[in-house]
A = this chain, B = another copy of it.
Amino acid sequence: MNAYQPRTDDMQFLLSRVLNAPAQLQALPAFAEADADLMQQVLEEAGKFVGEVIAPLNRDGDEIGAKWKDGAVTMPPGFKDAYQSFWQSGWPALASSTEDGGQGLPTVLEAMLYEMLSAANMGWTMAPGLLHGAYECIKHHASDDLKAQYLEKVATGEWLATMCLTEPHAGSDLGLARTKAVPLPDGQYAVSGTKIFISGGEHDLSDNIVHLVLARLPDAPPGPKGLSLFLVPKFYPDGSRSRVHCDRIEEKMGLHGSPTCVMRFDEAVCTIVGEPGKGLNAMFVMMNAARLHVALQGIGLLDATWQIADAYAQERRQMRAPGKGKSAAEADFISEHPAMRRILDTQRAWVDAGRVLAYRTALELDLIKHSPNADTQASAQRWCALVTPVMKSVFTHQAFHGGSDCLQVLGGHGYVREWGIEQIVRDARVAMIYEGTNEIQAIDLLVRKVLADGGTGMNALLDTIALDLPKAAKASTAAQARIQTLRAVTQQIVKASAQDAALAYRVADDYLRAVALVLMDWAWLRIEASVDDSTPNAQARWTIPAKALRSWVLPEFQVRSFIIVQQCTLAA
């Protein structure tokens, strides 16, 4: 009914006023020309394209979906034309290097583009979403020869790409993968095996598809260290078809606009990317960017459900709201009922906190790439390593669970297709699983990162946050107290883990959520500090969600730290 429409003014406010991004970026030589005007212009053009071209295709993407027949996949109506227009307008290459045919703009603009695209049409967006990792992977690991053939095509999005990792018995644990690569006399390899859950493994959006495939050489050791990375296109440069076949596509809960393919490699002739046995390394370098991308899907999808719920609640009347005087209408607006108001304000608090954290992370990714300063780089590395898994987990969780809360605002009308909100909730569910399940994000944060250095890195991140809290704000005191609690809790886990190796795995999710709440608190304090008399509609737009965060969201911090302390005590 009401398709998602990007609200670039809000995004612009967070980017420029709250994060001061244009000034930060212009200080980097790479982005000397990326001033506020240019960024605003790009954002508005992106919003226009998303709202006019991509959003209207979302319903057919779900209802008609991608169709498999005899190994070929036909995408839903309009998807191909939209994709051709998308890449020809240069959108996939927004943040790619100019030397590879890209526009060389900051990563944060790409991030904001994908937030909007995901919100508008997650199924369609899956296809270009996979390009960026493939681009980085080929750019940094492929031979010059391979780059000459593929890099620009992938950088510009003329050819789409896949990541072929998962196998029927190897999902979270890629080390179990069995696909084999046999060396050929000419230096190439013949790859055989079956990969599942391959998004965009086959489709009609682009003339060619470039597959990056994890496989095992004959002499490779078992486990993750035995995996190498290979490249095989659907069509070789000479136009011949590779022996890569799409055997079927999955029936799924949602995301019907994106074909999830079972791909069979039947002695397909491939080229190795990077060194033998270094396949996972080649993929993991782009992990932070990919996880940020999924976090942005969550933020966008939650915003999309919020938009529908908000529009519905302002239009429909049902029962009398408490504490309201008499009115001529036979009932009050749904938006006037406290339980519904609470849902709407709370989800808005999540969306904007998510934006601040995600945009900031994108800025840090640019600093990692382009800052000449080693301290800045180290700090940016730390931010990305610690904040990215938190964002991926909590914002994909919120897209599903908070999206379901938004659905509830519509009552029975939310459960039927008409308003389009149930589709978004179904689509959103998968983001809690892919790109590392949310449980794996929590283990990544606590076990692999925080415990690995005894909490030093986390303390340094908390120093950064604590110093950045607005001193004048009354709520900063509570924020500082939570930061202190989090430091103490971190040390308790470090200590108790010596007695009980499984402890951290049991409380990893509680820890991740406690960190998320501290980060969201910081984000909203920064937002409030940026609001002034010139901010349009400041009370309704920013003050009310900030209050909702403090009333309904932040109290969860107590229970998370309580659970962790209780488990540490049991472990001791």
For residue A565, give the distance in angstroms from its CB to the closest CB of chain B.
10
A197 CB–B CB distance under 8 Å: yes
Q: Are A173 and B331 in contact (CB under 8 A)?
A: yes
With A415-B433, A558-B559 in contact, do A439 and B250 touch (Cβ < 8 Å)?
no
- A330-B222, A404-B429, A425-B253 known; A318-B411 Cβ under 8 A: no
Q: Chain B nearest CB: distance from A196 CB in Å? A: 8
Q: Name the contact of A505 in the complex, choosing from B318, B338, B429, B555 (C-beta under 8 A).
A: B338
**Complex Cα distance A251/B429, Å?**
20
Chain B residues within 8 Å of A252, by CB? 415-417, 422
Indicate if A340 sits at the interface (CB-CB under 8 A).
yes
**A338-B505, A442-B339, A555-B566 known; A432-B408 Cβ under 8 A:** yes
Complex CA distance for A404 and B399, rounded to whole angstroms? 13
| B322 & A505 in contact (Cβ 8 Å cutoff) | yes
> In whole angstroms, what is the CA distance A115 to B530 when docked?
53
Chain B residues within an 8 Å CB radius of A175 = 319
What B residues does A404 contact at CB under 8 A?
Answer: 400-401, 429
| Complex Cα gap A117–B187 (Å) | 61
Is residue A491 within 8 Å, beta carbon to beta carbon, of the partner chain? Answer: no
Interchain CA distance A420-B559 in the complex, whole Å: 33
Shortest Cβ gap from A550 to chain B (Å): 9
Identify which of B418, B429, B558 contacts A415 (C-beta below 8 A): B429
Nearest Cβ on chain B to A412's Cβ, whole angstroms? 5
Question: Is the CB–CB distance between A408 and B430 below 8 Å?
Answer: no
- A412:B425 contact, CB within 8 angstroms: no
Indicate which residue in B318, B416, B563 contacts A250 across the interface (CB closer than 8 Å): B416
Would you list which residues of chain A between 505 and 527 have a CB under 8 Å from chain B? Answer: 505-506, 508-509
Contact indicator per residue, chain A 411-447, by CB within 8 Å of chain B (1) or not (0): 1111111100010011001101110011100110000
In the complex, the chain B residue whose C-beta lies closest to that of A507 is: B338
Interchain CA distance A434-B416 in the complex, whole Å: 13
Please give the number of chain A residues whose Cβ is less than 8 angstroms from any Cβ of chain B in the complex.
Answer: 73
Nearest B residue (CB) for A339: B439
| Copy count, this protein chain | 2
The B-contacting residues of A in range 476-500, CB under 8 angstroms, are: 500
Min Cβ gap A322→B in Å is 5
Complex formed: what's the CA distance from A231 to B364 in Å?
67
Residues of B near A317 (CB, < 8 A) are: 169
CA distance in complex: A500, B323 (Å): 8
Partner of A171 from B169, B411, B443, B552 at Cβ < 8 Å? B411
Q: A562: which of B433, B505, B558 is its contact (CB, 8 Å)?
A: B558
A222 CB contacts on chain B under 8 angstroms: 330
* A251-B416 in contact (CB<8A): yes
If A339-B443, A501-B322, A556-B559 touch, whether A417 touches B197 (CB-CB below 8 Å) is no
Q: Which residues in B have their C-beta under 8 angstroms from that of A401?
A: 401, 404
- What is the distance, in angstroms, from A234's C-beta to the closest C-beta of chain B? 23
A260 at interface (Cβ–Cβ under 8 A)? Answer: yes
B502 touches A338 (CB 8 A): yes
A52 to chain B, nearest CB (A): 26
Q: Are A509 and B563 in contact (CB under 8 A)?
A: no
Question: Which residues of the partner chain B approach A331 to less than 8 Å between Cβ atoms?
Answer: 173, 176
Given contacts A172-B319, A501-B323, A551-B567, contact A197 B166 (CB under 8 A): no
With A253-B425, A322-B502 given, is the CB distance from A408 to B439 under 8 Å?
yes
Chain B hits for A551, CB < 8 A: 563, 566-567
Contacts of A413 in B (CB 8 A): 171
* Contact of A433 with B411 at beta-carbon distance under 8 Å, contacts A322-B502, A330-B222, A556-B559 already known: yes
A243 within 8 A of B: no
What chain B residues lie within 8 Å of A408 (beta carbons)?
A: 432-433, 437-439
Pairs of residues from A and B, 8 with the lowest C-beta to C-beta distance, nearest first: A253-B422, A338-B505, A251-B417, A323-B501, A323-B502, A339-B439, A173-B319, A338-B506
Which residues of A pack against B, CB within 8 Å? 166, 169, 171-173, 175-176, 196-197, 222, 250-253, 260, 316-319, 321-323, 330-331, 337-340, 342, 400-401, 404, 407-408, 411-418, 422, 425-426, 429-430, 432-434, 437-439, 442-443, 500-502, 504-506, 508-509, 551-552, 555-556, 558-559, 562-563, 566-567
Having A250-B416, A251-B418, A321-B502, one finds 13 other A-B pairs with CB under 8 Å, namely A171-B413, A173-B331, A176-B330, A222-B330, A250-B417, A322-B501, A323-B500, A337-B505, A407-B429, A408-B438, A411-B437, A415-B429, A551-B563
